[in-house]
Structure 1
């Protein structure tokens, strides 16, 4: 059983306003052009992504795609 939190009327201390860091709704609509490819990967690599995907309730293909996208964006920044 969880311990109940009891709130009091104590002063909160010094408050700091945080800049809005969330993207605008328009930025959340991802309409990127995808290209289908065929690729051969090591069985151990695919098994790794499948296991992690199950743990995080997502698709292993999506994880691999995001990894490649992240890598490409990092390389473009450094170029």
Structure 2
């Protein structure tokens, strides 16, 4: 294993506190306009996509 770190009572020096400049995580999200779509597929098509998803290990 790696060596243990030994801490000493050394001097840190001058410390400067800076204002938080990172945006809130919610502000980092991309805001896309959502469009709801309804489609009709045959049972054969649905079974094909389900089997294809299973071979690609995609959860249903």
TM-score (norm 2): 0.38
Kindly name which structure, 1 or 2, has the bigger radius of gyration based on alpha carbons.
Answer: 2
Q: Which has the higher helix share?
A: 1
